[in-house]
Chains A and B, each alone.
Chain A
Amino acid sequence: MLHTINKSPFDRNSLASCLRTAPDGGAILFIEDGVYATAKGTTFSGDVEGALKNQKVFVLGPDLAARGIAEDKLIDGISVVDYSGFVDLVEEFGTVQSWL
């Protein structure tokens, strides 16, 4: 499965709900305001680092850029993709669950 998260973890519980129920071996892609979860040194960084043990974790580069988050601020192990990479993830990981 591919999970997309488009909410800041400081605003909504999408990240927590996703991590609680996402089947192992899938991928999580942070998009839109969800990208705030991918920065190092936040109160949610530990949760995302924990997720990296069971899931591949990606972030949409154009949404990082729009928000002024440099790639060197990202938690280690998170890969940056563009929209083309987003399409590849949908193809590779099967059913898509959008945590709106």
Chain B
Amino acid sequence: MEDTETMFDTEGVTKNFMFLNRKAPYGTIYAQEVLELVLISAAFEQNAAIVFMDDGVYQIVKGHDPSVSGMKNFSPTYKVVEMEKEDAEEDEDIDMVWKIIVEKESMEARGLSTDDFIINVEVLGSQELSALMAEQDVVFGG
């Protein structure tokens, strides 16, 4: 775990963070580095909506094997994100709520269904996603 040293007084502050993943994995580093950001946010026990939209849905499809290209497979990290979400749900001492969401239109446009994903996701149509967006305090887009 990286250091979480703080400088500002954020005691008792809770916000809704959205991590909007719109980029495919491997072609660029964005998908991999945003995962590090999602995981560090868990240390602050904040609400998080981790959304996969547009080519971002390709980040969580099954069967990635970048080893033949010499690249690191970071697919397993999505399982860690899923575990954090489940831990938050099960542990009564943790107030944060995490959601893992796929936008329906992006998924269907790519001929995918929830069976294709390595983690359990909630599928929201663009209108529902829009309503969720309106509830956010901070959006980290990628």
> Which residues of A are interface residues toward B (Cβ below 8 A)?
1, 13, 17, 20-23, 95-100
From known contacts A22-B130, A23-B130, infer whether A17 and B53 are also in contact, taking CB-CB under 8 Å: yes
- Chain B residues with CB below 8 A from A100, complex form: 22, 141-142
- Chain A residues with CB below 8 A from B129, complex form: 21
- Chain A residues with CB below 8 A from B105, complex form: 20
- Chain B residues with CB below 8 A from A23, complex form: 130-131, 133-134
Check if A95 sits within 8 Å of B130, measured CB to CB.
no
Check if B22 sits within 8 Å of A17, measured CB to CB.
yes
From known contacts A97-B20, A100-B22, A100-B142, infer whether A21 and B130 are also in contact, taking CB-CB under 8 Å: yes
Check if B54 sits within 8 Å of A1, measured CB to CB.
no
SS of B interface (majority): mixed
Check if B141 sits within 8 Å of A98, measured CB to CB.
yes
* Distance to closest chain B CB from A31 (angstroms): 13
From known contacts A21-B126, A21-B129, infer whether A95 and B139 are also in contact, taking CB-CB under 8 Å: yes
Q: Give the residue name and chain of the B residue nearest to A17 (CB).
A: B54
Check if B142 sits within 8 Å of A1, measured CB to CB.
no
Q: Give the residue name and chain of the B residue nearest to A25 (CB).
A: B134
* Distance to closest chain B CB from A93 (angstroms): 12
Check if B133 sits within 8 Å of A13, measured CB to CB.
no
A99 to B54, CA, bound (A): 11
* Distance to closest chain B CB from A98 (angstroms): 5
Q: Give the residue name and chain of the B residue nearest to A95 (CB).
A: B136
A59 to B29, CA, bound (A): 29
- Chain A residues with CB below 8 A from B126, complex form: 20-21
- Chain A residues with CB below 8 A from B53, complex form: 17, 21
- Chain B residues with CB below 8 A from A96, complex form: 139
Q: Mark B94-128, 1 if CB is under 8 A from A, else 0.
A: 00000000010100000000000000000000100
